Amino acid sequence: MRATFSLGHMAGIRVGVHWSVLVIFVLILVGLAQGGLQEAHPGRPAWQYWLASAVTAVFFLLSLLAHEISHALVARRNGVAVDDITLWLLGGLARLKSEASTPGAELRIAGVGPLVSLVLGVLFALAAGILGGFTDAGLAVGALAWLAGINILLAVFNALPAAPLDGGRLLRAIVWWKTGSPLRATAVATAAGRVLGWVLVGVGLYLVLAGAIFSGIWLVVIGWFVIAVATAEGGQARVRELLGGIPVSDAMTPDPVTVPAGTTVGDFLADPRFRYRHSAFPVIDDANFAAGLVTLKGADAVPETERASATVADVMVPVGDLPTPRPDDPLAPLVPELQANPAHRALVLEGGRVVGIVTSSDISRVTSWLSSSPAWRSRTL
């Protein structure tokens, strides 16, 4: 899930918003302005309902952001790098560059999100109670009460023991701690996620048949999302199991063609060495150390009038923004890093120099070979 536009950085973490957040905003805005708040506090001017609903929708999105920020901060404190946070249709998503190294770290990272939502719910409820006790600001009290309820509901729903919810991460941490196997723990959590997803789909279809069409369709959408993500996480766990013990050197393309950082974009695009076989090339500095990665797409985006003066160093992805494993590093931990990185490539370095490149296609090639090998099939029987 890629952000449509950026909100900047919070606590050093990139925060973005997907266009589908507008759907949440509109649903809350219309639902409260023409339904909940108007029914609970009739007789007010229309603009008051719309203003209160808009402010409530903004505070709900900020609550989602606080939930995800808490995950990111605790993850970072436990040695797990955070790529970014994106708010979207079904909530928020904090993209972690790697996995927790211990069950305890997994427990802390997963548990803080529902806890923050619960605390926010309690604070909104207290604010509603205090404001209602001293004033007759009915709309404000109604908005605060709604925010209290939705945050508590968010905490409870996310605590359900099924992937990809936070409760699924908690379940995974517990099974991992009990069995010592993170792969088995992932299998349990993803299986629970698929069961929950089908339950939500079934309940949603029942509500549609019962006449609650909007609520039913919403539950069906959430159920399908839970099933899809849980299935994807199960597949990723199987990939990690397949790649266990495999070094990066077995998947990388060794000695890739490199581009000097001072090469102009025009020369880069015109040189036959860079035009046919690959779509991205490592960039090296004057001392032959890795400087970054340049893509044909990025170079082609430079206006023709500027290609004679602009260099590949001006359009490359800096090496600091890329995964940079060593040849003898394990391949499995590189998989989530490639998925999280926009370039979907890793530069394999040895002493700061490029000795290989790994792409998502290279990972797929290795996993396909391992899946079809008799040795692997005998291991799974």
> Which is the catalytic residue, given 39, 68, 99, 350?
68
**DSSP states of 98-124 as a string?**
S--SSHHHHHHHHHHHHHHHHHHHHHH
**DSSP states of 179-222 as a string?**
HS-HHHHHHHHHHHHHHHHHHHHHHHHHHHHHT-HHHHHHHHHH
Q: Are strands 91-96 and 253-254 parallel, antiparallel or unpaired?
A: unpaired
**AA letter at 307:** R
Query: Residues 229, 237: contact at Cβ < 8 Å?
Result: no
Q: Strands, DSSP E only, in 45-145?
A: 82-88, 91-96
Q: How far is CA 256 from CA 274, 280, 322, 334, 358, in A?
A: 11, 10, 16, 19, 10
Strand order in the sheet with 353-359: 253-254, 353-359, 345-350
- 241 counts as catalytic: no
Residue of 167, 333, 319, 189 whose CA lies nearest to 258: 319
- Length of the chain in terms of residues written: 381
Q: Catalytic amino acids?
A: 68
